[in-house]
Amino acid sequence: MVATRSGPRPAGSALGVDIGGTNIKWVHRARAAVVEQGTLPTPAGGPVQIVAAIAELAVARTVEAIGAALPGHLSPDMRSTTTIPNIDGDWQDFPLADLLERATAKPVLLMNDARAFASAELTLGSARTHTDVVFMTMGTGIGGAIALGGTVLRGPGDRVGEIGHMAAAPGGDLCGCGARGCLETVAGGRALAARWSQALASRGTGTGTGTQDRSATPEDLVRAARSGDTTALEILGTAATAVGTVLGSVLAQLGLSTVVVGGGVAPAFEVMRPAVEPALGDRRRLIGPVTILAAALGPYAGAMGAALNATAQPLAVPSARPQLSGI
């Protein structure tokens, strides 16, 4: 049995977690400030083990609520996960919120990681002086979010803003979503690293870092491009054209003119930007000048957004805490 709060929760103490395929980033926010933050490896065993890890973080701290951001979609009631392509395990119809609440006796809010990032940047970061913004996160894939009137749009299943799954190269590479040629298959970190690995293999060389047996990364590609490598510049140029084309379409559809770019692969955008801007310039007569801002909050923005939302939404509060073995 639960007691339901009828109105918005006051700003209080919350644990915000950003669950990724490699790491879980977390922040403990209290008194309108981050009092603690950290990173732990994402458990390899699947979603049940992830619940246990987050519960351990929560019960070790005085928190009123938990916010969890994930790279995928949620059920219509925002309580379970459906499509989480980049984290190991069976996430289809997984009751993440219910299990976390049972383990911690704290109310839990789930949200998409890009929408969590946007919430933080809109409230505290680069977009805090703006109300209408398109957000793009560059990581393993490409995430996105849209803010109108100072509110990040979410919709059923938290699916609003998936610019990474807009077609950028029809008939191109297969995407994790099942379609071909999505933007993230051209400009996502995994795609950039794969193309650079292929280029190095064709030359018969390694990453150029002294570690010949490790896979190339987007950071390797960016370093090569900054050093003037023509193939690296071509790869990022192709990605930039795709980003500019998709962003131009999104801005034209929504009538917006401000973009915030962040995420772990955002440094690649710094190199791509000179090629992105001409693609946007082709739309200038329709959308006008475009302002592109770098995200300000760094790698913990998603966790911060999850914490902010957990204390700003009406949530159901579990009345008792069962043992963790009940997960």
CB count, 10 Å around CB of 243? 29
State residue 317's pLDDT score: 54
Return the domain boundaries, the chain. Answer: 2-114+302-326, 126-295
Q: Is domain 2-114+302-326 given the CATH code 3.20.20.150 in the classification?
A: no
Nearest CA to 113 among 312, 320, 327, 309? 309
Query: Parallel, antiparallel, or unpaired for β 33-41 and 65-70?
Result: unpaired
Buried b (16+ CB within 10 A) or exposed e, 14-52: bbbbbbbeeebbbbbbbeeebeebeeeebbeeebeebbb
Distance (Å, whole) CA 99 – CA 324: 9
User: The tokens of 39 are what?
Assistant: 């990173």
CB 3 within 8 A of CB 291: no
Domains 2-114+302-326 and 126-295 share a fold: yes
CB 314 within 8 A of CB 8: yes
pLDDT in tens, 117-141: 999 999 999 999 999 999 999 988 8
Distance (Å, whole) CA 318 – CA 266: 39
CB 273 within 8 A of CB 292: yes
Q: Consecutive 10-residue runs of the chain (327 residues): their mean pLDDT?
A: 33 89 93 92 93 96 96 94 88 96 96 96 96 95 95 92 94 91 95 95 70 77 96 96 95 95 92 91 90 95 96 61 40
Class of domain 126-295: alpha beta
State residue 320's pLDDT score: 44
Nearest CA to 232 among 216, 221, 218, 219? 221
SS (HEC) of the chain: CEEECCCCCCCCCEEEEEECCCEEEEEEEECCEEEEEEEEECCCCCHHHHHHHHHHHHHCCCCCEEEEEECCCECCCCCCECCCCCCCCCCCCECHHHHHHHHHCCCEEEEEHHHHHHHHHHHHCCCCCCCCEEEEEECCCEEEEEEECCEECCCHHHCCCCHHHCECCCCCCECCCCCECECHHHHCHHHHHHHHHHHHHHHCCCCCCCCCCCCCCHHHHHHHHHCCCHHHHHHHHHHHHHHHHHHHHHHHHHCCCEEEEECCCHHHHHHHHHHHHHHHHCCHHHHCCCEEEECCCHHHHHHHHHHHHHCCCCCEEECCCCCHHHC
List, in order, residues 6 or more apart from 218 with CB less than 8 Å away: 189, 192, 193, 196, 265, 267, 268
pLDDT in tens, 32-75: 889 999 999 999 989 999 999 999 999 999 999 999 999 999 99
Q: Which amino acid, one-letter code, is at 88?
A: D
